[in-house]
Chain A
């Protein structure tokens, strides 16, 4: 499949009064047409900042992109000026934010907010834009779109508001949809609805989605591919099956082990000890070393490169080096890996049928 977006060695820094924060420290990935790439990580891992960089929303002058490229349709978004970026924002790339309560303008009718982008980017007249807005509300599953279009955001429930936000994001048929924790603020039942809606829409429109979340359950639900971020870097990237059934990075092990599954009542959860490093002074070597029970001497000296596991699967840990000792992943992770072979087989079957 063709790449629609390529991010190469992206760095983002922020100047604060305490010093320079290296929020993103060399991120590489590409996004294929029609796929959903989930970026998982803890708060402060740089996942949100990465998407903001894609949207050209890094607050200036404190935030800077000192290095790296974001290639979209032959253009480097990292170097575009505000005016050009505005044309891309909303039309080619649009964003869904975390909190549906604050991402809508409370003093403007819902219809007007959807029509705004249509009138600006697609040069539609009002009547046409209104028809399209009704169509969009229908698409995101809001009943009675003709009446609802004239209502204000406070007349919508949380889940319905997030649907409106999605409708606004979809208005101009964007090629890429960036979703920054779009379901975190919602209840589980509403979350399930929104996830279903997003998958449904993706099927219809072939939009590529970058989905930011910290919830591995959500990742398993929506993602085709997964990138795991830690301390401003991607530490492991692969298909959803690679990551969930054959994880290689000890941080991914930790993440998977720290979530209870339905059958894991007896054993303790694997907690990753400690806290993420301070990105004002990133540690030397592997940033995860201090929390890694499998840490080796080299982790404190040199940053691990991305080792290739398979064509789709890469991980940045020295454990994959040929000289590294063989280590046993935690029991909970091993249970997952056992299923990998069978899962793989059933997967291929699924694709054939």
Chain B
């Protein structure tokens, strides 16, 4: 894995929001991870853990309080010229959560999809523009008759595919998918996930997949990071994470997912996470337990985890 090219490097990213004169919310509090070219990196956690904020900060919807984000080795935060910014906007795109709020209700599907094309001047004639839009619609499994329609005429799944077409229009390399399926029905979720997988193969895309549904995340991701209160508590290959969860929070999260299997559900035992049981003798650090499996822990806990994983 490590021999692969790093596409995105996030180092010690912090995002603190002022909520009052003297109080701040540490939505993201020192998050570090790398995303390799061509992989899908899953970021999971419960509401309010800062996973969406992490995604939005990476793509510069928010200015980071502290930390570095490097995209293809270049720092993308801080002051940048307009042309550099535009270049960055093309390379990194986002798919949003709510298919009802993510499309402008006053624009036709064609105008929505071609917005990126217009901003970046990727097409010169109207004919070219229309062709490109029809092409993109086909890519996401819709047809060109849909181009002149308005978003409210589409179902949630169709809208989400329009959102994907909009992101694809500027030919990005990296897509942040911010809970792209959590607002969709089960049968539609699979459509969108399959589409995203296909597109990844065709266009060599890299995904940051943010979600709270762990079973879907495991299905789509190569590596998964678990977030809890603004910090990543565990990061590993997705199979490894599911087979050998080490951090007690990961364990509790995994044990809480209901699976569509009545027998399994009848025998399920839930593990409850109790944050007070952590070793508090020192500040926990992010440590590698075994290759590519990282856990937020203290030195004492590190030993315990190592033992646990070897048994």
Contacts and interface: CB of A to CB of B under 8 A. Distances in A.
Contact of A260 (B47, B216, B239, B256): B216
Given A42-B188, A189-B256, A196-B270, A271 B194 contact: yes
B239 A188 contact: no
B270 A217 contact: no
Contacts of A257: 190
Interface in B226-261: 239, 242, 252-253, 255-261
B42 interface: no
A150 interface: no
Q: Which among A214, A215, A258, A276 has the highest number of chain B CB atoms within 10 Å?
A: A258
A256 B256 contact: no
Q: Which among A245, A271, A272 has the highest number of chain B CB atoms within 10 Å?
A: A271
Contacts of B78: none
A260 B186 contact: no
A273 interface: yes
A273 B187 CA distance: 8
B16 interface: no
Interface size range of chain A in the complex: 35 or more
Interface string A196-209: 10000000000000
A37 to B, nearest CB: 14
Given A187-B212, A275-B158, A259 B264 contact: no
Give the secondary structure class of B's interface: helix
Contacts of B216: 260
Contacts of A216: 186, 260
Contacts of B187: 42, 254-255, 258, 271-272
Contact of B215 (A42, A221, A261): A261
Interface string B117-151: 00000000000000000000000000000000000
B155 interface: yes
A187 B197 CA distance: 26
A244 interface: yes
A96 interface: no
Interface in A5-60: 42-43
A240 B265 CA distance: 11
Given A216-B186, A259-B215, A271 B260 contact: no
B149 to A, nearest CB: 14
Interface of A: 42-43, 187-192, 195-196, 214-221, 240-241, 244-245, 254-262, 264-265, 268-273, 275-276, 339, 343, 346, 350
Given A195-B258, A216-B186, 12 more contacts: A188-B212, A188-B253, A188-B257, A189-B252, A196-B270, A220-B262, A258-B186, A260-B215, A262-B215, A268-B197, A271-B188, A339-B263
6 contacts: A42-B185, A189-B252, A220-B262, A221-B268, A255-B186, A258-B189
Q: Which 10 A-B pairs have the closest CB atoms?
A: A217-B258, A258-B190, A260-B219, A216-B260, A187-B46, A271-B190, A42-B185, A272-B187, A269-B190, A192-B256
